[in-house]
Structure 1
């Protein structure tokens, strides 16, 4: 392989590494990858009513307030007036100028169940090991409750014994499908590596042709030198 080919191949593999690294860097986790937070406050923010997803983050240590826990978990709240959170991570966009019945409802887990906070996030003092929740709606439905291991599960749905078996089968099928999938980050790496291999092959073939073409000229030059 020529020096040019080697440099190009090395550059492409370096790019693949950078892309893979960028693909796995994340802020707050989605609900199915919720972090465990044994020494801090787990914060759940439900964007589903705004067309988003349920996201979670861990506020390490002992945050001084509910707002501090929200920010430490990786979310950015903004107020419409002092003490009244209007948007989280820019949602809703724009911040409503008139109250339409929906707001960022603030919840806390007490004895394993969500309870609407009776005080504002600036006055609340969440304890390490606790769980805080936010959901943009009319305040009647809380966000999903994180299950053991930090994963969020929607416990607001009622159980129907007649459909429990069907639900369990569907869940098992879904889990099986998920476990056999390939992550988007891996597909990105595979694609870049394939491109690197193809480009490397093209460069090698081009270099070989150039060397063969230069061969007769080099031999002619050597013969002229000998004469």
Structure 2
């Protein structure tokens, strides 16, 4: 019986360790955009480029972020706004294959198919979207400009749709900006800590009961 108790509580402790590891792993989940790059929402003045990514038929909300400061070209603006990019193996980022991992089924070895591609658009604040006449790496965005990326499915090049969000600077960040995971001022995961303390107390209590029973049996 002594060995049964030891194995039993060994399993409990192992389960607690797994619970702690799982909880900590969940607390450190990565965000969709690159941490430390860009600002959620529109640039609030001419010191930056507002980047709008519309996934269209791929699903998901349109993302709006600001790349602060002067940008070398359209690709650097997209990167400095915090988006995760993938170019093609043959042409690199001069031919955009994926933005934020979409489309997930794209191979990215060569040119994407015409009817499943990202299109690049430019605009001034308060203006209209215009299909870029040069590649994103050749576009020199002026201060306060907008750039847009829109995914086209089942359409020929001449029918590619512009982003559905107008290039008009807003005073506040868009509503789809994710809220912080924690409501506390410090962001400390108190619920996780409380859960761990409860589990530890249960283990200790169980161990005390097991020891008392063993002594009584002796």
TM over 0.5, shorter chain: yes
C-alpha separation between the residues in 2 aligned to 1:57 and 1:10?
39
Runs of 5+ unmatched residues, structure 2: 1-9, 153-158, 183-188
C-alpha separation between the residues in 2 aligned to 1:34 and 1:110?
19
TM-score, normalising length: structure 2: 0.59
C-alpha separation between the residues in 1 aligned to 2:127 and 2:64?
17
Q: Retained in 2: the 8 A contact 1:28–1:57?
A: no
Partner-residue secondary structure (3-state), 1:206? helix
Mark the CA change 1:97 to 1:210 in structure 2 (over 3 Å): closer, same or farther.
Answer: closer
Give the root-mean-square deviation of aligned CA atoms: 4.3
Which residue pairs with 2:40 in the alignment?
34
Tell me the number of residue pairs that the alignment of Structure 1 and Structure 2 aligns. Answer: 179
Which residue pairs with 1:63 in the alignment?
71
Check if 1:19 corresponds to 2:33. Answer: no
Which residue pairs with 2:127 in the alignment?
113
Check if 1:43 corresponds to 2:51. Answer: yes
C-alpha separation between the residues in 2 aligned to 1:91 and 1:19?
23
Higher CA-based Rg: 1
C-alpha separation between the residues in 2 aligned to 1:130 and 1:98?
29
C-alpha separation between the residues in 1 aligned to 2:180 and 2:80?
28
Check if 1:132 corresponds to 2:147. Answer: yes
Question: In the TM superposition, what is the alpha-carbon distance from 1:98 to its structure 2 partner?
Answer: 4.4
Mark the CA change 1:210 to 1:128 in structure 2 (over 3 Å): closer, same or farther.
Answer: farther
Partner-residue secondary structure (3-state), 2:67? strand
TM-score, normalising length: structure 1: 0.57
Partner-residue secondary structure (3-state), 1:119? coil
Task: Kindly indicate which of the two structures has a greater share of residues assigned to helix.
Answer: 1
C-alpha separation between the residues in 1 aligned to 2:29 and 2:51?
24
Q: Give runs of aligned pairs for residues 68-147 of structure 1, distance below 5 A.
A: 68-73=76-81, 74-79=83-88, 82=91, 85-89=95-99, 90-92=101-103, 93-94=105-106, 98-100=113-115, 103-116=117-130, 117-137=132-152, 138-145=159-166, 147=170
Question: In the TM superposition, what is the alpha-carbon distance from 1:111 to its structure 2 partner?
Answer: 3.7
C-alpha separation between the residues in 2 aligned to 1:114 and 1:28?
28
